[in-house]
Amino acid sequence: MRLLITGGSGFMGSNFIRYLYNAYKTARIWNLDLLTYAGNPENLADIEATESKMPDDERRYTFIKGDVADRELIQRLFEENEFDTVFNFAAESHVDRSIVNSVNFIRTNIQGTHTLLDAARNFNTPHFIHVSTDEVYGDRLEGSADEKTLLKPSNPYSASKAGADFLAQAYIRTYNLPITIIRSCNNFGPYQYPEKLIPLTITNLLEGKKVPVHGSGLHVRSWIYVKDFCEALDAIWQKAHTREIYNIGGVEKKNMDIVAHIASCLQKDAHAWIEHVNDRPGQDVRYSITHAKLKSHIGWEPKYEYKTAFADTINWYLANPEWWKKIRDTKEFTDHLDLQSKGMRF
């Protein structure tokens, strides 16, 4: 098995590479990542260390620094390596950043996906799995989106993901490419860049800093533990149909409840530590998807209990302060947090 994972040095990609590396001992894995501010080689330091002790011909993991929108590079990689499956995680992924400046979102999320799809087409790649998001549906005041619901993205990030999702759909229809599109809800777990709600809350509280919460904090998001996500993706890869779209859903929670839960786990009074900041322009009130199709096609259901998964996540950040402190010390991070704390005025 020859597998290309794009964006494998980010949060979900690195968790998925670790999962694949342990689950499929004969798989050869290539990780193509540009190492933007969100890409961190330390996310896969354990695998690099294992590999460095192996003879060259037994190595199973290769890192390539590069841009998914670089046509020449992508053509060469596909030609040289004859991938069996491509998992496209690479993206600019933070809504707040897309509201400030969306240039890189269009380039990576749309142009990058387009470049990869063209290569998959040119080299007859047997399976291309595109990682999309529940955010492409926009918000749902009631009910839940299924895979036939119209896409109605609300911000530049979700619009760029919808663009990529539409391209993948068009390549299924026009060229009959064996693509699977997955639309996942929010993930949480180890190695998530600490600008996102859950690691931001944990690390701010651990550093004795207030937690900026957009607007009322009553917005609802669905959450899945990244380990559940990895198992879902593996099951879709192995058992589900190609040329299909699958939602991967989780547990719905208000942002404020997430922050309050983390504060109580860390024995802090949430009210004293929350700082309400201006709401995001175009803020989505509620995301909700159903994964009934995934359940009926392959019987998948999340297996980790929400509270246990949350406790495991908090414990991981408690046990790995050197990982997140290094990130939080960078100017990239402090500049963004400063902007976020000021309430995203543009």
Ligand X SMILES: NC(=O)c1ccc[n+]([C@@H]2O[C@H](COP(=O)([O-])OP(=O)(O)OC[C@H]3O[C@@H](n4cnc5c(N)ncnc54)[C@H](O)[C@@H]3O)[C@@H](O)[C@H]2O)c1
- Contact residues: ligand X, CB under 6 A: 6-7, 9-13, 32-36, 38-39, 67-69, 89-93, 108, 112, 131, 133, 161, 184, 186-187, 193
Angle made by CA atoms 35, 37, 38, in degrees to the nearest 5: 80
72 tagged catalytic: no
Q: Torsions phi, psi of 254, nearest 5?
A: -75, 145
Residue whose beta carbon is closest to ligand X: 10
**Is the CB of 133 or the CB of 313 nearer to ligand X?**
133
**The 244-248 sheet, strands edge to edge:** 61-65, 28-33, 2-6, 85-88, 127-133, 179-184, 244-248
Least spacing, CB of residue 340 vs ligand X, in Å: 16
Q: How far is the CB of 178 from ligand X (least distance, A)?
A: 20
| Residues sharing a CB contact under 8 Å with residue 329, sequence separation 6 or more, in sequence order | none
Q: Which is nearer to ligand X, 35 or 103 (CB)?
A: 35
Catalytic member of 157, 193, 287, 317 = 157
3-state secondary structure of 286: strand
User: Least distance to ligand X from the beta carbon of 56, Å?
Assistant: 25
Of 34 and 232, the one with the shorter C-beta distance to ligand X is 34
CB 208, min distance to ligand X, A:
26
Which residues on adjacent β-strands are paired with residue 181?
Answer: 130, 245
Compute the least distance from the CB of residue 117 to ligand X, in Å: 14
Q: Is 134 a catalytic residue?
A: yes
- How far CA 105 is from CA of 57, 313, 335, in Å, comes to 37, 28, 19
Please, what is the minimum distance in Å from the beta carbon of residue 271 to ligand X? 27
Q: Distance between CA 111 and CA 177 in Å, rounded? A: 18
How distant, in Å, are the alpha carbons of 63, 65, 83, 333 from that of 73? 14, 10, 14, 29
Q: Which of 33, 67, 134, 284 is catalytic?
A: 134
Catalytic residue among 33, 67, 135, 284: 135
- Interatomic CA distance for residues 171 and 179, integer angstroms: 8
DSSP three-state, residue 30: strand
* Neighbouring C-alpha atoms within 13 Å toward the C-beta of 220: 15
Which of residues 139 and 210 has its CB atom nearest to ligand X in the complex?
A: 139
- Look up tokens 């999962």; give the residue: 19
Nearest-5° Cα angle at 214, 150 to 256: 90
Of the pair 210, 282, the CB lying nearest ligand X is at 282
- Residue 70 appears among annotated catalytic residues: no
Alpha-carbon distance 205 to 212, whole Å? 11
Q: Backbone dihedral region of 149: left (phi > 0), alpha (psi from -120 to 50 degrees) or beta?
A: beta
| Closer residue to ligand X (CB): 112 or 178 | 112
Min CB(294)–ligand X separation in Å: 14
Three-class SS of residue 224? Answer: strand
- 238, 84 in Cβ contact below 8 A? no
Q: Considering the complex, state which of residue 61 and residue 89 has its C-beta at the smaller distance from ligand X.
A: 89
Residues catalogued as catalytic: 134-135, 157
